[in-house]
Structure 1
């Protein structure tokens, strides 16, 4: 019920303030497991994604978002939970495995799971190399991958800024990608890289971003240094 109320309220507010343009949403199957894989340019991406897809969308988020104390902590925990976020300790030694297994459980239940293959937000608006977790998830579950692109959200909430701004936003979905030809090969690193690169190629085509063939985390470290 909380998810329905939140989506109704924020969906109305979003349509009034931002009037987002949604392209290709009909490419998301009405039932059965679906993986949504796209670019990640700002914190607010997941909110726009959840509010523009008719089906409930689940995604991974840092567990620190729901561990706050007091009234603010409870409100934050309710908000992120109602938004479809599943908290996972991604900073621990087994964070990647926990995220992968969580995604598999969601898909095994026939739901929609969203993932950002870059693994973190882009440090400069460009599209970075995808991590192969998306490929393993697709091959383990057999779920189709629908690539998507968030366009303009970085102007709504620029990095390091406070309150969101009013700016045009487009959420664009591509054709579903079927990787059933690689069934049983989810441990072959060459296959995993090929699948991941195919997904990222589609995301690049949809978003129009410049592609950088290094991991975003490496770019962040280099920038910090």
Structure 2
């Protein structure tokens, strides 16, 4: 059961984004049953505010943030875990041991994690190459990846058009006899193609 604070903030954020922006959200029928991973392109730090409200309130959707820059105040260290944000200390794009453990614990409990596999902001530019971690997580946890494409958050102003497209889940069903690296590459490519296709479609 998500904490009451998470539910209140989720509903408040949904009200704000749907009243202060022209949000077009499609594909909610594609959302799989938990556990699963949400993989989205990343244009700005507030992207989660335009993604999480369009997913079911339960279970709580976890996100990750850098320990050094986000969890740098005592009040943040107390508040952020209550709304599903957990700290990571990435090194060259790879998660630290504690971050890895948290990801698998959440998925093992039937939870949902929102990830931005580009690893940094694209800020309206073309989709960056995705980190392999998204493929490893999906394969090793045996969970689907729900691709999400977001457009319009690179320039924030009231009543701006924001498009959120939720794609069909990508199952970790690559042939088991393939080498792990090949299976990971296949998963990553499928996720990237799904997001890229949705972004191109929204431009039309």
TM-score range, shorter chain: 0.7 to 0.9
Q: TM-score, normalised by structure 1?
A: 0.77
**Is the deviation greater in 193-202 or in 164-173?**
164-173
Pairwise CA RMSD of aligned residues?
2.5
Q: Contact 1:21–1:169 (CA<8 Å) still a contact in 2?
A: yes
Q: Contact 1:28–1:34 (CA<8 Å) still a contact in 2?
A: no
The match for 1:61 is 65
Q: Secondary structure at the match of 1:200?
A: helix
The match for 2:34 is 32
1:10 aligns with 2:13: yes
Shift in CA distance, 169/81, structure 1 to aligned 2, threshold 3 Å? farther
More helix per residue: 1 or 2?
1
Q: Contact 2:62–2:113 (CA<8 Å) still a contact in 1?
A: yes
Counterpart selection for 1:170 from 163, 171, 180: 163
User: How far is 1:183 from its partner?
Assistant: 4.5
Gaps of 5+ in 2: none
The match for 2:195 is 203
Shift in CA distance, 123/18, structure 1 to aligned 2, threshold 3 Å? closer
The match for 1:188 is 180
The match for 1:20 is 23
Shift in CA distance, 96/118, structure 1 to aligned 2, threshold 3 Å? farther
Q: How many residues align?
A: 195
User: How far is 1:8 from its partner?
Assistant: 1.9
Q: Secondary structure at the match of 1:20?
A: strand
